[in-house]
Homo-oligomer: A and B are copies of this chain.
């Protein structure tokens, strides 16, 4: 039974950005709700590699060069929690429900939102000022989940299936990105061969979701055996350590010489796209899901000659997070091998260090905003 009333305090603990690379644990007012918003008590927040980027350099898509530093901004975009209040006009959710978040709520009025492409909203970041269009990207352009409470538009929420722990529920949005990419790759991947390049959290989740949807065989490449072993745990039919032999050759051999029907690039490695197009069968599809940092050399003529399509995906569009949550409710995949560590809220700096340095086999690290390891005073932390 849902608990239907919660005492919501006026202030909360939250981590905020100072200068690039600096975080401070501070007290902030609990957010007030606008129409279509709910208040989420954050029960768990996972760390994504993009959080490290945001903390160091700001989010990947800015408006007019605006950076979030020294503006009391709270990062964190992979979180879940319990609804403790609902704003005006909300009947989609009720107080007491457990929810996981999507990152993006589009403005609803630009060309892309009208097409249903809300993660590509053309008013990205415009949720302030005279021409506030209402877009939000949790933890990128609006306050995120490294806080005890967060205001969320109803469009950014999905229900957490019963029996899924808080920690694993933070991974639903990652599964949503995997699902979005598989949707873009045709949706019906049953019986189709798929190569996943890169065994980070997204790559591993692609393996898990693709297997749940019947892709076969699913081949995973990486250069770290431990990660490949987790890939096997979540269902990969074959794993390839690309430091032992050229991954393109191994994929070709594993697919009768013709390549796979689809490739999902999750590594961001410099050679990744060029490899991907050569791993895929003529007329095949490639999804690009990794934010690579440097321009890469790509054999464009090969793309043309072989009628290959490539799909860059941003975030978790087409309500993919909802689908992912449904698969999880049906126990079609098990994300638990991805969750490796949990920390108390005040230990976020340590958690970030584990994530960045991949200490102790870290894959997905979760912090619990409602729990403190000690009497937490405000504190300032510089991240290297």
Contact = CB atoms under 8 A, between A and B. Distances in A.
Identical chains in the assembly: 4
Interface residues of A, number: 91
Interface string A303-336: 1111111111111011100111111011010000
Contact of A109 (B92, B214, B296, B298): B92
A216 B303 contact: no
Contact of A304 (B111, B292, B325, B332): B292
A326 B188 CA distance: 12
B300 A295 contact: yes
Contact of A89 (B131, B188, B214): B131
Interface string A158-195: 00000000000000000000010011101110111000
Contact of A114 (B116, B182, B307, B309): B116
A338 interface: no
Interface of A: 36, 60-61, 89-92, 106, 108-109, 111-120, 122, 124, 130-134, 153-155, 179, 182-184, 186-188, 190-192, 212-214, 216, 258, 268, 272-274, 281-283, 288-301, 303-315, 317-319, 322-327, 329-330, 332
Given A273-B298, A304-B312, 4 more contacts: A190-B212, A213-B214, A268-B301, A310-B311
17 contacts: A61-B306, A89-B133, A122-B281, A182-B188, A183-B188, A188-B188, A188-B213, A190-B212, A288-B300, A290-B300, A292-B300, A292-B301, A293-B301, A300-B312, A305-B312, A309-B310, A310-B312
